[in-house]
Amino acid sequence: MSQAHEPEFVLAAQFPTPQRAQWVDLIAGVLRKSGRVPADFDGDAAGKIATKTYDDILVQPLYTRDDAPEAAGMPGLPPFVRGSKPEGAIATGWDVRQRHVFTDPAAAKKAILVDLEHGVTSLWLAVGSAGLPIAALEDVLDEVYVDLAPVVLDPGADFLAAADALLSVHSDKAIPASEVGGNLGADPLGLRARTGSTQDFDGAIQLAVRMSDEYPALRTLVADALPYHQAGGSDAQELGLSIATGVAYLRALTDAGLTVEQAANQLEFRYSATADQFSTIAKFRAARRLWARVLEVSGAPTVPQRQHAVTSPVMMTRHDPWVNMLRTTLACFSAGVGGADAVTVLPFDHAIGLPDDFARRIARNTHAVLLEESKVAGVIDPAGGSYYVERLTDDLAGAGWAFFQSIEAAGGLVAALDSGLVEEKLGETWAKRSKNLARRKDPLTGVSEFPNLNKKLPVREPAPAVPSGGLPQVRLAEAYEELRDLADAQPERPKVFLATLGPIAAHTVRATFAANLFQAGGIETPNAGATATADEVARAFTASGARIACICGSDKLYEQRVPDVVQALRAAGAVKILLAGKGDYADVDGYVHVGCDVLAVLRDTLKTLGVGA
């Protein structure tokens, strides 16, 4: 007896396939409703809200199949865009690599053991002049199963002595050379970028050659892109300079007798992971593609790039540092989705000093939430197939390759560093970013947006001084925090009085905007509340103890009341009167509005009040 076949169910079969033009029409409708375009607009609606990255990559609001580049291949196969392993990180997750910068061996040992007991799978230790004494490595790692939890060193210029000490630890524990993993952390080019001085390049190459035969699973060199990220560089600049670093090491290692495959296996690449989710995902995917191209033309096409992601120190803030937990969570997620092999989450108090137990716990638990609860690693290349991510990956790879070629044309990385070309190019990007930060086009939650004047900074022990003297090291929040520190240090907090006009509904938007703006510089903003007359505003101003006032209200109220209110405030002793919004009022001394240079306003305001003059 035959069975009737059930009709095949096709998802969304009852719905017509939408066309690009229909999506564009919907965008145009939103823009018309918001007043961004006139009611009769029939042009390129999507182009109206497209944005450019710092690499001049145009990001569209809408991506369809037509925008996708050529297929990126399969996971575990060249060019490794979709991951370095066919199985992804499903079985083990990414390597949870915790950083330790303690100089006290006892504190380091205690922290390391606690981390390993709670999910950390490898250690990143600062040793030498900027970290743990090299002689203390044996004691600090005495209770660590270094064959199960590999050690990655950050030794600075002391990489030879640090390498000997770490290998001695493995030898004392009778670990076979074939099972020694981790990375000795030699990076003379990265250190040259940080310090501006020549480092022991030949010593690092000779060490790598020696390690290659005896310790096949141990890496010696790091192509660290963090110095360029910390100098204000863009994603493509970070990519290009990392590839230039890798190529310089590759050439030297093969000249010293290693095969291309052996040389490539001595390298690990280190990149920043930021709170810009899609850019970070695309950067790690693009990095593997670029290095795959280098190895393809060099004769070792099947060696994937080994990647270590570090949540960006540039994005970390000192003020309201708890927001850093959100930033690092997003960065860790993005690096994991992007396919990084190892991820380090910097503690939320990184910009303040040495982390406490709570900060280190939150850092490692960030991985646990993403891996164990959210199952982020449970999908191979979860962003793969997204038209936006695939397009952004392709565009970023192109921009990174172009920057790499410009470095090669200048004679290679060393020549580009010595000539000042690298610093010049990174400085140009930082100047653009600084302008956007000053205008809050790039907002910083807890610093330039929604600051909390009542929050006290955590107290931490100072962290060891890091190598400097070469490329600058910047943070996004530093200009705001400098002004905030000046204001916080005053016996009485500086004030700007908000002269709010009319009922709450008439002034709340501009009063909130102005309060947010001034508080970003540590300036308190008492307000007049709902007022009826100019004299009442003036009395409230006098009672506040402020010397500067900012008028906040609607355009209609400004036309009716600005002259009288200004006159009353002047009579009450206001040395400066600003107005929230744009206009043409001869009696006021300036305006604060969306798009204004907030840092310039804050500096001028504090100077008027005798702070930081």
**Beta carbons within 8 Å of 423's beta carbon, 6+ residues apart:** 231, 417, 471, 472
Burial class, 110, CB count within 10 angstroms (exposed 0-12 / middle 13-18 / buried 19+): middle
**What pLDDT shows up at residue 1?**
47
- Nearest CA among 228, 384, 240 for reference residue 310: 228
Q: CA dist 14 to 7, 9, 17, 359, Å?
A: 14, 11, 10, 52
Q: Where are the alpha helices (DSSP H) in 129-217?
A: 137-140, 159-172, 188-195, 201-214
Q: What is the C-alpha separation between 132 and 244, in angstroms, rounded?
A: 30
Q: Quick check: helix, strand or coil at residue 190?
A: helix
Can you list the residues of the chain whose pLDDT is less than 50?
1
Question: At which residue do the structure tokens 């196969």 appear?
Answer: 77
Q: What is the C-alpha separation between 26 and 18, in angstroms, rounded?
A: 11
Q: What is the C-alpha separation between 72 and 53, in angstroms, rounded?
A: 22
Q: Is the distance from CB of 611 to CB of 528 less than 8 angstroms?
A: no
Q: What is the DSSP letter of 340?
A: -
**What pLDDT shows up at residue 12?**
65
Q: What is the C-alpha separation between 49 and 36, in angstroms, rounded?
A: 9
Q: What is the C-alpha separation between 200 and 188, in angstroms, rounded?
A: 6
Q: What is the C-alpha separation between 413 and 251, in angstroms, rounded?
A: 12
Three-state SS letters, 416-467: HHHHCHHHHHHHHHHHHHHHHHHCCCCCCECCCECCCCCCCCCCCCCCCCCC
Q: What are phi and psi of 155, to 5 degrees?
A: -95, -5
Q: E-assigned strands of 332-447?
A: 342-344
**What pLDDT shows up at residue 228?**
98
Query: For the whole model, what pTM was predicted?
Result: 0.94
Q: What are phi and psi of 256, to 5 degrees?
A: -85, 0
Question: At which residue do the structure tokens 């110095």 appear?
Answer: 227
Q: What is the C-alpha separation between 210 and 231, in angstroms, rounded?
A: 33
**Beta carbons within 8 Å of 381's beta carbon, 6+ residues apart:** 75, 82, 83, 88, 339
Tallying the residues shown for the chain, one arrives at 613
Q: What is the C-alpha separation between 566 and 547, in angstroms, rounded?
A: 13
User: DSSP string of 264-276?
Assistant: HTTEEEEEEE-S-
**What pLDDT shows up at residue 175?**
96
Q: What are the pLDDT digits (tens) for 30-76?
A: 998 888 888 888 888 888 899 999 999 999 999 988 899 988 899 99
- Nearest CA among 304, 206, 307, 222 for reference residue 258: 206
Q: Where are the alpha helices (DSSP H) in 439-554?
A: 478-488, 504-519, 534-544
As given in the structure block, the two tokens for residue 481 are 């925090």
- Nearest CA among 473, 61, 59, 78 for reference residue 282: 59
Q: What is the DSSP letter of 370?
A: I
Q: What is the C-alpha separation between 176 and 215, in angstroms, rounded?
A: 9
Q: Where are the alpha helices (DSSP H) in 182-265?
A: 188-195, 201-214, 226-229, 235-255, 260-264
Q: CA dist 487 to 97, 307, 440, 547, Å?
A: 38, 42, 20, 15
Q: Is the distance from CB of 100 to CB of 123 less than 8 angstroms?
A: yes
Distance from the Cα of residue 241 to its chain's centroid: 17
Q: What is the C-alpha separation between 306 and 95, in angstroms, rounded?
A: 12
Q: Is the distance from CB of 531 to CB of 489 less than 8 angstroms?
A: no
Q: Are strands 122-126 and 95-100 parallel, antiparallel or unpaired?
A: parallel
Burial class, 456, CB count within 10 angstroms (exposed 0-12 / middle 13-18 / buried 19+): exposed
Q: What is the C-alpha separation between 290 and 240, in angstroms, rounded?
A: 9
**What pLDDT shows up at residue 274?**
98
As given in the structure block, the two tokens for residue 301 are 């096409």
Q: What are phi and psi of 548, to 5 degrees?
A: -120, 140
